A and B are shown apart, each in its own frame.
Chain A
Amino acid sequence: MEERLYGDHRMDDIDLAAVERRALDELAAACDSAAAAAWRARYLGKKGEVTQLLRGVGALPADQRKQAGQTANRLRALLQEAFDRRRAVLEAFSSAPSAAIDVTLPARPHRQGHLHPITLTLREIERAFRDMGFAVVEGPQVEWDEYNFERLRIPADHPARDMWDTLWIDYERDGRYPMLLRTHTSPMQIRYIERHRPPIRVIVPGTCYRYEATDATHEWMLTQVEGLVIDEGISFAHLKGTLEAFVHRLFGPDVEARFRCDYFPFVEPGAEVAIRWRDGRWIELLGAGMVHPEILAAAGYDSARYTGFAFGIGVERTAMLRYGIDDIRYFYNNALGFLEQF
């Protein structure tokens, strides 16, 4: 097509502009001297495109010849200049004394920050539930017995209190010690329903405390994520569906979740969820259940109309499974050798 254009002597500025653009693009793409030389031959050599073009000027009608000649010469000069610059750059690279660097030298020192694996795991858990429409709130770590136990249907002298060995605050009132370090995040169930009306869909991450000797699987300080969903029409099926979705999100779609009957005074029916781990064992991950109707009624909800479910996820356990950590004591030892792996 170009042949035809030149052959017809229809050379004008638009054509030349296109040639210029194409030539400069190609030059920019030439990354070594050989490629640059080939480019030069293609455009500026004896049989080069621009040289040919200049030759064609003579064939034009006299009235166009002068203008066309000037334009084509300008183009040749421009390309020559561009070529010289490009050649200089390429030569500078190829002749620099340290042309090759030892790419295996260490990176320039740079402090690398890390988030704690509990933070990372909490964020994963939060994202999973946020995607299902849950809000994320927090509650106090120092609690009243009333919220931590009594209003969760665990009165004083109830045998279920043995499920939570408690660190008590040295604060006496009326001959009793009503203040404690919360043993679970469940008191926030009560605090939340006091101040909100259905629909409720919330998780509460937070630190809890137990009077417990420390070993590879027990820590006296621990992190939980409480969950609470209350609305009309919420059933055990939703409990299962939600927690299955959570398990699949955190551990992969092929990981099985197992629901079995368990007891917590503030739910009925109660459940424990375990996942089948790689080695075939079932590992307990969280406790759950349908919110006890007496707890809904105590908050002024119509418990015949509203139902809900609650759950409490052990965050350390989740992190241990996700990362293959075999000793819970790593979490609060804060050894850099541990923390820097996350």
Chain B
Amino acid sequence: MKLSLRWLAEYVDLRLPPEELAHRLTMAGVEVEAIEKIAGDWDHVVVGRVQALAPHPNADRLRLATVDVGASEPFTVVCGAPNIAVGQAVAFAHEGARLVDARSGSFRVLKRSNIRGVESAGMVCSDRELGISDAHEGIKVLSEAAAVGTPLAAAIGDTIFDFSLTPNRADLFSALGIAREVAALTAGNVREPERGDTVGELPPEGSISVAIEAPDLCPRYVATLVRGVTVAPSPPWLQARLEASGSRPINNVVDITNYVMLEFGQPLHAFDFDKLRGGRIIVRRARADEHVTLIDGSGHALRTDDLVIADAEEAVAVAGVMGDALSEVSDDTSTVLLESATFNGPSIRRTAAALKLRTEASTRFEKGLTPELALEASRRATRLFVEVCGGTVAGVVDAYPQPRDPVSITLTHERLARVLGSELPPEQVVTPLEALGFTVDLLPDGYAVTAPYWRSDVRIADDVVEEIARIVGYDRLPSAPLQGAVPDPDPQPLRDTGARVRDAFAAAGLVETINYSLVSIDAITSVQALATITDRPPLAVRNPMSEERNVLRTTLRPGLLESFATNRRRQRRAIALFEIGRVFHPRPDDLPHERTFALALLGGVGPKAAVHEGSGSAADLDFFEAKAIAQSVAAALRLVFTYEAAEDPALYTGRAARVLVGGAAIGCIGQVAPAVAARFEIEEPIYLIELDVDALTQVIAERGPLEFTPPSRFPAVVEDLAVVVDEAVPAADVERLIARSRLVERVELFDLYRGAPIPAGKKSLAFSIDYRAPDRTLTDGDVAKARKGVSKRLERELGATIRDA
């Protein structure tokens, strides 16, 4: 909300510089988001008054304006603006003034010039020329009150506060509301704007009736009838106020309703009374199939829980949102029915949202206005109607079926100290509250507080505590370290596993990414089996921001593939990325099952540095590098991963493995299928490691805490063993059989050989084996026996032969 300080100054003395005032307001919860200065380099620009207009001798569209600028002689200048009129106060620029050139937008210094044969020593300026706004349809018309000859800066210079207000403070969406805050914060007093007579002093209007048929949605409806109104443009001061607040002037009647809304925060509506059938106002819910065409020309079908204002026949306004076109005030209107009512906030908000019509009125009503405000605002508007539109008040109907009691709150000393952590002396409680319009009575154990009529947000003692605290200033309240009992620990094994996997991946040289949780269904389809997706479709977003991000990911794969591809476009180096994040598996009629996964992707060729004598180049990122990384994760978790060939829709068949701990599958590893990579515009072999962090957490829990085994003090016997097996036999099977021997401490495959003298279809696997016993030095006999057992098992179970055994 924008508010001019010139306007604000009418209600309260502004004793602080704007920046300081903005700071105080902001600290108290009334945030000034921006400060705008209406000012320019207005040297040589003064207030002038148009004394006479004459046609230009040589140009139809130009006129000669004689302008009094307070000097001994008036100036006559050429003017092309259609809106210039005798009697107007205008901004007059003398020679030498620095103005904005209306065409180029850049500054130029005004010089005496000859326009179509007429000498012109000065100029009547538009908003654009003054640098105030882009408006250039006509000259800027100043308030009639502006004194001729006054420098323009003194006459209209202003500062505008742009507020970012919180939705609890309906009262602040008004000049008066802000003025009350300023007064409370600067020990000032509010000057209330003048109102018209109260209801009892006016004749009840016999020719109108107000019926509230939906009192739950409309607690109060004040209808005031004003006769003899002359509809015309508003006086300049009123137009200036509206413009400074970002509102467009329309005519005096509509402008007054808008002005009072900006001043009091109470939206008003003016009906052309002669167009209300039956002279009746009925506040009711819309009928089924009721339609309305609003002032902005839009047509709407209403729902039966929308509140409408109707005449004897049909809806003439959507309550709190907008009036209809038929009953709108026009130039011919002479009798106005002014509505000032209180509507149920949520109802107005629902209707405005359904009609997609959020108006200045509806955004104020939805925050909850008080019934008292409706009467105050109507009195203010009536007064202005009489002053500005020349009307007379013919009568008023105040429908207020169930007047509410003022909210009285007890705030004990105990509660105040409990919430703030310190005692406050009574004057620090009473002064701020009274400055804000609260009434405060002292009680033996605290205060009896009554909120002012305009505050709908203060209901409980803690609300009052906040009022005190924010005026005293949060910065002046005490601060203390936490004390007292520390709660019992709340272990989070899943988080711990995630953190350990994350550290292990980073230690293995991978770069962590965080990808969006929303992806496209198409991206998921490309990396998961179709059956999985059709069985349990991913959760979709009802209002997605784009088609690319419209379902919740059920796998981390698409996001990381996209990140890989994006980086590949930027660089040629090897890329190794990972992510640890949630995926969302839908469950019927429940929140999805959120599972944590870890995914790594790597590909590309490592740098081939040949500058180090005797050292190899970095390994290319391939399947076995991926496996090495998986192994380092296993080591970090103190788990043993085993691998068996497996299939996965996203992986290259024959280059994919399931990762297990004991018998439990905890992930997979493999080369991404070329077609899948291509879908993400990746045209190189890339490798994937996927670990189910929930499953890992489970196996860690089942394993229990680590237990120490003393290392053997006895020497190992190290031997090599070459085993010839069929091609199809996985190396891991051979290794597992060797390791089964009680004396085998370590098995390591160090050579894989195919070719003569090994028969075709077979391969030779050479293992280095450590034999060791925990309790004694092994004899040659022990080792020979163990070796024989291993050989026999290999022969029996795998059909292996032992070379050179």
Does A292 contact B618, Cβ atoms closer than 8 Å?
no
Does B539 contact A170, Cβ atoms closer than 8 Å?
yes
Q: A262 contacts which of B29, B465, B541 (Cβ < 8 Å)? A: B29
Contacts known (A135-B489, A159-B167, A339-B511); A269 close to B591, Cβ less than 8 A: no
Residue A162 lies at the interface, judged by CB distance under 8 Å to chain B: yes
In angstroms, Cα B488 to Cα A200, docked, is 9
Binds A, one of B234-242, B254-262, B572-580, B766-774: B572-580
A143: chain B residues within 8 A (beta carbon): 591
A138: chain B residues within 8 A (beta carbon): 492, 494-495
Residue A66 lies at the interface, judged by CB distance under 8 Å to chain B: no
> Interface readout for A122-145 with B: 1 if CB under 8 Å, 0 if not?
000000000011011110111110
Residue B418 lies at the interface, judged by CB distance under 8 Å to chain A: yes
> Interface readout for A159-198 with B: 1 if CB under 8 Å, 0 if not?
1101100011111010001010100000000000000100
Contacts known (A143-B591, A332-B516); A110 close to B509, Cβ less than 8 A: yes
Residue A331 lies at the interface, judged by CB distance under 8 Å to chain B: yes
In angstroms, Cα B77 to Cα A104, docked, is 79
Does A290 contact B492, Cβ atoms closer than 8 Å?
no
Does B479 contact A244, Cβ atoms closer than 8 Å?
yes
Does B29 contact A332, Cβ atoms closer than 8 Å?
no
Does A133 contact B482, Cβ atoms closer than 8 Å?
yes
Q: Name, among A111, A119, A133, A207, the residue most crowded by chain B CB atoms within 10 Å (CB to CB).
A: A111
In angstroms, Cα B461 to Cα A268, docked, is 10
Binds B, one of A34-42, A76-84, A235-243: A235-243
Q: A240 contacts which of B27, B479, B485, B607 (Cβ < 8 Å)? A: B479
Closest to A236 in B: B420
Q: B514 contacts which of A116, A169, A238 (Cβ < 8 Å)? A: A116
Shortest CB distance A159–B (Å): 4
Residue A231 lies at the interface, judged by CB distance under 8 Å to chain B: yes
Does A335 contact B511, Cβ atoms closer than 8 Å?
no
Binds B, one of A10-18, A150-158, A320-328: A150-158
Does B469 contact A260, Cβ atoms closer than 8 Å?
no
In angstroms, Cα B513 to Cα A331, docked, is 9
In angstroms, Cα B511 to Cα A173, docked, is 42
> Interface readout for B330-348 with A: 1 if CB under 8 Å, 0 if not?
0000000000000001110
In angstroms, Cα B462 to Cα A265, docked, is 13
Residue A118 lies at the interface, judged by CB distance under 8 Å to chain B: yes
In angstroms, Cα B780 to Cα A26, docked, is 45
Interface residue range, chain A: 35 or more
Residue A261 lies at the interface, judged by CB distance under 8 Å to chain B: yes
Residue A61 lies at the interface, judged by CB distance under 8 Å to chain B: no
Does B515 contact A133, Cβ atoms closer than 8 Å?
no
Residue B453 lies at the interface, judged by CB distance under 8 Å to chain A: no
> Interface readout for B420-434 with A: 1 if CB under 8 Å, 0 if not?
111000000000000
Does A260 contact B576, Cβ atoms closer than 8 Å?
no
Does B506 contact A262, Cβ atoms closer than 8 Å?
no
Does B486 contact A116, Cβ atoms closer than 8 Å?
no
Residue A199 lies at the interface, judged by CB distance under 8 Å to chain B: yes
Contacts known (A111-B510, A335-B567); A259 close to B618, Cβ less than 8 A: no
Residue B243 lies at the interface, judged by CB distance under 8 Å to chain A: no
- Chain A facing B: main interface SS: mixed
Does B517 contact A114, Cβ atoms closer than 8 Å?
no
Does A237 contact B479, Cβ atoms closer than 8 Å?
yes
Binds A, one of B245-253, B609-617, B736-744: B609-617
In angstroms, Cα B515 to Cα A156, docked, is 31
A106: chain B residues within 8 A (beta carbon): 609, 611
> Interface readout for B478-515 with A: 1 if CB under 8 Å, 0 if not?
11111111110110101100000011011111111111
In angstroms, Cα B291 to Cα A216, docked, is 44
Residue B57 lies at the interface, judged by CB distance under 8 Å to chain A: no
Closest to B581 in A: A207
Q: B421 contacts which of A112, A232, A237 (Cβ < 8 Å)? A: A237
In angstroms, Cα B509 to Cα A196, docked, is 40
In angstroms, Cα B495 to Cα A138, docked, is 8
Shortest CB distance B634–A (Å): 17
Shortest CB distance A155–B (Å): 7
In angstroms, Cα B610 to Cα A105, docked, is 11
Shortest CB distance A156–B (Å): 7
Does A108 contact B609, Cβ atoms closer than 8 Å?
yes
Does A169 contact B469, Cβ atoms closer than 8 Å?
no
Does A241 contact B479, Cβ atoms closer than 8 Å?
yes
Closest to A192 in B: B490
Contacts known (A109-B618, A240-B478); A159 close to B539, Cβ less than 8 A: no
> Interface readout for B783-801 with A: 1 if CB under 8 Å, 0 if not?
0000000000000000000
Residue B570 lies at the interface, judged by CB distance under 8 Å to chain A: yes
In angstroms, Cα B543 to Cα A140, docked, is 20
Does B482 contact A132, Cβ atoms closer than 8 Å?
yes
Residue B129 lies at the interface, judged by CB distance under 8 Å to chain A: no
Contacts known (A157-B350, A263-B29); A229 close to B570, Cβ less than 8 A: no
Does B541 contact A169, Cβ atoms closer than 8 Å?
yes
Shortest CB distance A152–B (Å): 14
Q: A334 contacts which of B415, B513, B615, B618 (Cβ < 8 Å)? A: B513
Does B513 contact A116, Cβ atoms closer than 8 Å?
yes
Shortest CB distance A93–B (Å): 17
> Interface readout for B633-657 with A: 1 if CB under 8 Å, 0 if not?
0000000000000000000000000
Number of residue pairs A-B, CB distance < 8 angstroms: 266
Q: Name, among A118, A170, A293, A304, the residue most crowded by chain B CB atoms within 10 Å (CB to CB).
A: A170
Shortest CB distance B357–A (Å): 15
In angstroms, Cα B514 to Cα A221, docked, is 10
In angstroms, Cα B574 to Cα A157, docked, is 52
Interface residues of A in 71-94 (CB under 8 A from B): none
In angstroms, Cα B592 to Cα A141, docked, is 9
In angstroms, Cα B516 to Cα A181, docked, is 13
Residue B775 lies at the interface, judged by CB distance under 8 Å to chain A: no
Closest to A223 in B: B514
B353: chain A residues within 8 A (beta carbon): 157
Residue A307 lies at the interface, judged by CB distance under 8 Å to chain B: yes
Residue B58 lies at the interface, judged by CB distance under 8 Å to chain A: no
Does A113 contact B505, Cβ atoms closer than 8 Å?
yes
Does B479 contact A207, Cβ atoms closer than 8 Å?
no
Contacts known (A259-B474, A337-B570); A135 close to B420, Cβ less than 8 A: no
A317: chain B residues within 8 A (beta carbon): none
Does A162 contact B167, Cβ atoms closer than 8 Å?
yes
Does A237 contact B490, Cβ atoms closer than 8 Å?
no
Residue B727 lies at the interface, judged by CB distance under 8 Å to chain A: no
A233: chain B residues within 8 A (beta carbon): 418, 483-484
Interface residues of B in 535-589 (CB under 8 A from A): 539-545, 552, 563, 566-567, 570-571, 574-577, 582, 584, 589
Closest to A205 in B: B495
Q: A261 contacts which of B29, B346, B422, B576 (Cβ < 8 Å)? A: B29
Contacts known (A136-B492, A236-B420); A105 close to B611, Cβ less than 8 A: yes
Contacts known (A113-B507, A263-B168); A290 close to B462, Cβ less than 8 A: yes
Closest to B510 in A: A113
A100: chain B residues within 8 A (beta carbon): none
Residue A202 lies at the interface, judged by CB distance under 8 Å to chain B: yes
Residue B475 lies at the interface, judged by CB distance under 8 Å to chain A: yes
Q: B477 contacts which of A159, A237, A336 (Cβ < 8 Å)? A: A237
Shortest CB distance B237–A (Å): 32
A sample of 21 cross-chain residue pairs with beta-carbon separation below 8 angstroms, ordered by A number, consists of: A105-B611, A105-B612, A109-B609, A113-B508, A113-B512, A115-B502, A133-B487, A137-B490, A138-B494, A159-B167, A159-B366, A160-B167, A196-B487, A211-B545, A241-B479, A258-B475, A263-B29, A268-B462, A270-B466, A292-B462, A332-B514
A interface with B by C-beta (< 8 Å): 98, 105-106, 108-116, 118-119, 132-133, 135-138, 140-144, 155-160, 162-163, 167-171, 173, 177, 179, 181, 196, 199-202, 207, 209, 211, 213, 220-221, 229, 231-238, 240-242, 244-245, 258-263, 265, 268-271, 290, 292-294, 304, 307, 331-337, 339-340
The 4 closest A-B pairs by CB, nearest first: A111-B509, A237-B421, A235-B421, A261-B29
Given A211-B545, A235-B418, A339-B512, output 7 extra A-B contacts at Cβ < 8 Å: A116-B512, A140-B594, A163-B167, A199-B486, A236-B477, A238-B481, A241-B481
